[in-house]
Amino acid sequence: MDVPVLIVGAGPAGLVLACDLARRGVRTRIIERDTTAPDHRSGSRGKGVQPRTLEIYDDLGLMDAVRAAGGPYFPGMGWDGPVQTGEIKLPRSDPRDPTPDVPYPSPWMLPQPRALEILRQRLQELGTEVEFGTQLTTLVQDDDGVTATLAHADGRSETVRSAYLIGADGARGPVRNAAGIPFASEPMDSLPMLTADVVIDCLGRNHWHMWDKAPGGPLWLLPLARSEAFQLYAKYDHPNPDVSPEGIRRMILERSGQADFVVREIYWASLFTSRLGMAEDFRKGRVFLVGDAAHVHSPAGGQGMNTSVQDSYNLGWKLGQVLLHGAPDSLLDTYEEERLPVAAGLLQFVGQIHKNWMGTGGAGQPKGDSQQLALNYRASSLSSGESAGGIVQAGDRAPDAPLKDAAGKPLRMFDVLRGPQFTVLAFGDGQPPDLPSTMKERVHFHRVIRPEEPASSGALVDVDGHAHQHYGNGVVVVRPDGYIGYAGGLSSLNSAVPDYLARFF
């Protein structure tokens, strides 16, 4: 093998997967057909980072950079031509206070080029560079690996042999077709929408400006965090709109009724028709699909980029266990087992949001979790046991909680879980499980006690009882992606827990 994992596509899905694999010690190559890194002129695109994705960025050590590069969402302001009709309460801009179990309760606005820059910088720190101007032309797989042909911007052709190949190359990328994976899709709307990043003078930057009943179709202008630009969404009532720079300027002036608007610059614009679609398989042999290569849908609800990140985080640790720690290849089948139902449910959820967004959804309330905190793998074959007596059970997201270490220093449960390891948490009495030496470096053990319990060497103190409330009084095993794999009584520490962990080594 030339490299264990070849990742095709350096968008959010590809970069998160490359970062996760790199910190585990898995060598990768990540290629991108674009010749240069995207900047602000390539479009803000998927800008809404949901709470669960913020938790992943925390785990990767990115939160300081994410905070510095983004900002909160703005409330809506309704308009009827040049007249304001009043402030509109929007789910994304309704700030929520952090709770002990959810430290990042509100979406964060981070234009996609900045998110990609942060991820590329982290990947570089981990020793891997994105190879720009390189695209996949063919792939052939066999029982032992994948042979890919790459075309470089300078005209060179290269053959690369990898154990696994990941299609993170978007809805129109070559990997899915080259692997022979069927993809079913249908249009959500026969009429097009425009998204663009525009610079407009004489428009306030403290609201998401919304002309829902504008002539020709709705117009929305959202001020982008730490930018002079607005992200524009416009719906058209005819199939062939003029989306030239002059056509876009004219549309903004006509729909807003604001004669004094000066559309100073248009960084980027894209006309699209919303579709729902999903691949029949997320794995075929040694080829995997993540992100838009696996599922596509409307931008309504801000779910696409976030779901792509979740895909990669689910797959990364499983590839690491198979390539480095002796887990059976069948572990990789659980990527599709866990993520395909999530994607299918997401398509229904986003489809209803889109219909409501466009005023065609009737009275139906979308059923889903836009924050992605409640998504779970309870039905997965990797979820064992049920509950340790707390709120959460096997398959659920592992919640945060305030703690103190043995020296009395404050820390959080997320500090304990951060990293590529499995974590065994024993609430109350208990000794580390008897594990083979091959497991010990990748399995961390912690006792968690209540403040009134006798101090114990190395034990973490649940200062306010929130950890016990959520996790219970038994033992839980937290997977490397922050989901509970096993939950049971303390008596299982040297029986069910070692047996459960043995599945991954």
Inside any domain, residue 432: yes
Same domain, 150 and 118: yes
Judge residue 171's burial from the number of C-beta atoms within 10 Å of its C-beta, 0-12 exposed, 13-18 middle, 19 or more buried. Answer: middle
Inside any domain, residue 378: no
CATH number for position 78: 3.30.9.10
83 pairs with which residues across the strands?
80
Helix (H) or strand (E) holding 112: helix 112-125
Same domain, 44 and 150: yes
Percent of the chain with pLDDT strictly greater than 90? 82
Percent of the chain with pLDDT strictly greater than 70? 96
> What is the band of 360 on the pLDDT scale with cuts at 50, 70, 90?
low
Same domain, 14 and 139: yes
Same domain, 64 and 47: yes
Same domain, 55 and 116: yes
* Cβ atoms < 10 Å from Cβ of 359: 11
374-425, pLDDT tens digit by residue?
A: 999 999 999 999 889 999 999 999 999 999 998 999 999 999 999 999 999 9
What letter represents residue 259's amino acid? Answer: A
120: CB partners within 8 A, 6+ apart? 10, 15, 37, 130
141 pairs with which residues across the strands?
146
CA distances from 140 to 165, 175, 227, 329, 482 (A): 10, 11, 44, 19, 34
Inside any domain, residue 364: no
Rounded CA gap, 474 and 390, in Å? Answer: 9
Q: Is pLDDT of 311 > 70?
A: yes
Residues spanned by the domain of 496: 384-502
Same domain, 17 and 81: no
Inside any domain, residue 49: yes
Inside any domain, residue 375: no
Average pLDDT over residues 325-340: 97
Same domain, 348 and 298: yes
Last residue of a domain, one of 273, 298, 330: 273
Tokens representing residue 254 in the block: 């006509």
What pLDDT score was predicted for residue 429? 83
Same domain, 287 and 413: no
Rounded CA gap, 200 and 265, in Å? Answer: 7
What pLDDT score was predicted for residue 363? 47
CATH number for position 25: 3.50.50.60
Same domain, 201 and 96: yes
Q: Is pLDDT of 301 > 70?
A: no
Same domain, 469 and 404: yes
CATH number for position 477: 3.40.30.120
Q: Is pLDDT of 321 > 50?
A: yes
Select from 473, 475, 481, 472 the least CA-distant residue to 495: 475
Among the residue ranges 26-40, 73-87, 179-193, the one predicted with the least confidence is 179-193
Q: Is pLDDT of 108 > 70?
A: yes
Q: Where are the beta strands (DSSP E) in 237-309?
A: 262-272, 275-279, 283-284, 287-289, 295-296
CA distances from 215 to 86, 220, 398, 418 (A): 19, 13, 48, 51
What pLDDT score was predicted for residue 362? 53
Inside any domain, residue 488: yes
Same domain, 62 and 137: yes
Number of structural domains (the chain) is: 3
Torsion from C-alpha of 192, 341, 505, 489, nearest 10 degrees: 130
CA distances from 109 to 41, 44, 265, 372, 375 (A): 17, 10, 21, 16, 21
Inside any domain, residue 61: yes
Same domain, 39 and 89: no
466-494, pLDDT tens digit by residue?
A: 999 999 999 999 999 999 999 999 999 99
Average pLDDT over residues 449-476: 93
Pairing of strands 484-488, 384-385: parallel
Last residue of a domain, one of 340, 357, 374: 357
Last residue of a domain, one of 223, 250, 273: 273
Pairing of strands 157-167, 287-289: parallel
40 vs 115 pLDDT, higher one? 115
Inside any domain, residue 490: yes
